[in-house]
Amino acid sequence: MSPKLVRPFESIEDTQEFIELLTDAIGQAAREVQEETEQAHRSSQPRRAEAFQLAHYKLEQLALHVRKSRRIMNDLRMIRRMLANERG
């Protein structure tokens, strides 16, 4: 007997749940990086502060892409529902 394959993204809803978790993790990371940035500024570590600023910028970019992905997933779900209604 073969083991059942685990497929975490079997549906749009599963993927949306993952995107929500990812959004939360990005937000938490951004808050932590912002705190580290402020601490580096207070301790007169400009290169460290600059590196944290870059990390924060990259997290903002990632958050933007995830928001776009969420909108795309919502569009796909809506299209799926429209197609299901046409069939039924």
* pLDDT digits 0-9 by tens, 12-60: 889 999 999 999 999 999 999 999 999 999 999 999 999 999 999 999 9
State residue 9's pLDDT score: 75
Q: What one-character-per-residue DSSP string does 12-43 give?
A: HHHHHHHHHHHHHHHHHHHHHHHHHHHHHHHT
Taking the C-alpha atoms of residue 4 and residue 56, their distance in angstroms, rounded to an integer, is 40
pLDDT, tens digit (0-9, with 9 covering 90-100), for 71-81? 999 999 999 99
